[in-house]
Structure 1
Amino acid sequence: MTPGRPLVFAHRGGADALPEHTLAAYLRALDEGADGVECDVRLTRDGHLVCVHDRKLNRTSNGTGRVSAKTLAELDALDFGSWHASAAELDEPLADHTRLLTLDRLLEALRGCGRPVRLLIETKHPSRYGAEVERRLVDTLRRHNLVEPTAAAGVHVTVMSFAALALRRIRTLAPAVPTVYLLEILPPGVGRGRLPFGARIAGPGINLVRSRPALLANLRAAGHQTYVWTVNDEPDLAAVLAHGADGIITDRPRFVIDRLDDAPRV
């Protein structure tokens, strides 16, 4: 990260160029120079954390039904990439473009990328498995030696959620792991800088930033960092930069990085 400029996170790996939550998308984002990447995790029926955003499989795979009702083997048999426009450019489907991505595989790839990288992990709720999502997440991070920042092996993990109780569970299970309170609407007190359960980073959506132009300044005045999602075009990027966001979560990491490179240094 260049001093004085925000971190750039590839949302779902950079979902504009390649299929979201595929290993190919994450590796491309890192090659493009993203400071970090973002993923969503859900728990399978047999207890594995997989990187899928939606509760149902219909939009991003050739399967149907709920992710939580499937085993890892059942999900691994599906195609998670051929729906994307980029598939037309391939002579034949490649596993990294179409295969289900588990959190374990993503962590292994990030640890092997050869440079420091930040990973934002969003736990999805409501879930039929409730608190087990965070318990399995912390167990996974512990296996990869990622629950303490000093043992991160080049990967710095931050956990995000719209569910305040999920943040409380992370604080209890892994107090050294930073947390982001995601915001689509503004709960009471948050506009004045109060975040729940020890969260030090606020994650407002771009629509909320548009409607509450003083929000980022208020959060900063209260001592919190801000990561804004999902910033994909010129007007939104200009607004977020003007408001002094600490992190930009985007489907288009190369676009954001290029604009930051062209911006005058302050």
Structure 2
Amino acid sequence: MTPLAIAHRAGNSLAGLHAANDLGVDVIECDVHQHRGRLEVRHLKTAGPLPFLWDRWELASASAPRLGLRELLEADEKGTTFMLDLKGRRIGTARAVARLLHELGHRQPLLVCARYWPAVEVLATRDYVRPVLSARNRAELGRLRQRVAAGPPVHGVSVHATLLDEPLVASLREHVEVVMTWPVNDEATLDAVLAVGANGIISDEPAVLATLLARRE
């Protein structure tokens, strides 16, 4: 399978959506949160009652406009294949996404990913949804290997780049079509993950995705 070029977080803004589509990537990822009954796409997290959003080295005002998942999907004019990364340990977020997709009559292929796998399973029954299970650390990876070997089939897995080696990828690809990995933000990492057999490259860097796309020509 030709390695997929996946634009990490590009769907968290309309500018990112359009730029990634212009680049010609295969999949555009966005981070889906449910906040006060609304589905939002953003990487930054809320801070309870405090008036800001945060993530490690970044702060933003909680009152700043936030892009909604509905607005993102309605703005798409390219037939984009999105990957919705469902955040948090809440089934309710997945159910709200399911309702929204029904309201919009969405039928485009759609990847749904989460570290909380029950949320993925809520949407996996839809024929246009390609479920992807994610693992960030070794404990999650151990459970992931058991799940893909014994559980209902899934389209793919998303595993942090630091956990990958060739035997692991070969083992996973016996059960799934796509082994994705992140973060792949420089050419050396791109070469390394391709060498062990990863076939879904998740990157924040347009230059890395452009390199991957150029190699496929």
Q: Same fold (TM over 0.5)?
A: yes
Corresponding residue of 1:101: 67
1:40/1:52 contact within 8 Å kept: yes
Cα distance change on mapping 1:27 and 1:61 into 2, 3 Å: farther
Letter of the structure 2 residue corresponding to residue 141 of structure 1: L
Question: Is the partner of 1:100 in helix, strand or coil?
Answer: coil
Contact 1:8–1:249 (CA<8 Å) still a contact in 2? yes
User: What amino acid maps onto 2:66 in structure 1?
Assistant: L
One-letter code aligned to 1:101: L
1:51 corresponds to 2:49: no
Asked whether 1:238 is paired with 2:198, we answer: no
Question: 2:6 matched to 1:6?
Answer: no
Q: Does 1:122 align with 2:85?
A: yes
Aligned to 1:184: 136
Q: What one-letter code is carried by the residue in structure 2 that aligns with 1:30?
A: N
Note the residue ranges of structure 2 that are not aligned, 5 or more in a row. 47-52
- Does the 8 A contact of 1:192 with 1:219 survive in 2? no
Matched residue, 2:49:
none
Distance 2:144 2:54 in 1: 37
Runs of 4+ in 1 over 6 A off after TM superposition: none
TM-score by length of 2: 0.83
Match of 1:139 among 99, 107, 117: 99
Contact 2:30 2:83 (C-alpha < 8 Å) held by counterparts: yes
Aligned positions, number:
206
Describe the SS at the equivalent of 1:58. strand
Say whether the 8 Å CA contact 1:191–1:215 is kept in structure 2.
Answer: no
* Identical-pair percentage: 29
Q: Distance in 1 between matches of 2:161 and 2:2?
A: 18
Deviation at 1:100, TM superposition (A): 1.9
Quote the Cα distance in structure 2 between the aligned partners of 1:8 and 1:240. Answer: 13
**Partners of 2:41 and 2:69 within 8 A in 1:** yes
Query: Which has the greater radius of gyration?
Result: 1
Give yes or no for contact 1:161–1:180 (8 Å, CA) kept in 2: yes
Query: Counterpart of 1:159 in structure 2: which amino acid?
Result: V
Q: Equivalent residues in 2 for 1:32-181 (5 A)?
A: 32-45=23-36, 47-56=37-46, 57-59=53-55, 62-64=60-62, 77-78=63-64, 99-110=65-76, 112-113=77-78, 116-126=79-89, 130-146=90-106, 151-152=107-108, 156-171=109-124, 174=126, 176-181=128-133
Distance 1:139 1:61, change over 3 A: farther
AA aligned to 1:10 is A
Note if contact 1:160-1:179 (Cα within 8 Å) is conserved in structure 2.
yes
CA distance in 2, matches of 1:217, 1:107: 35
- Flag the structure with higher strand content: 2
Q: Shift in Å at residue 193 of structure 1?
A: 4.9
Let me know the Cα RMSD of the aligned residues.
2.4
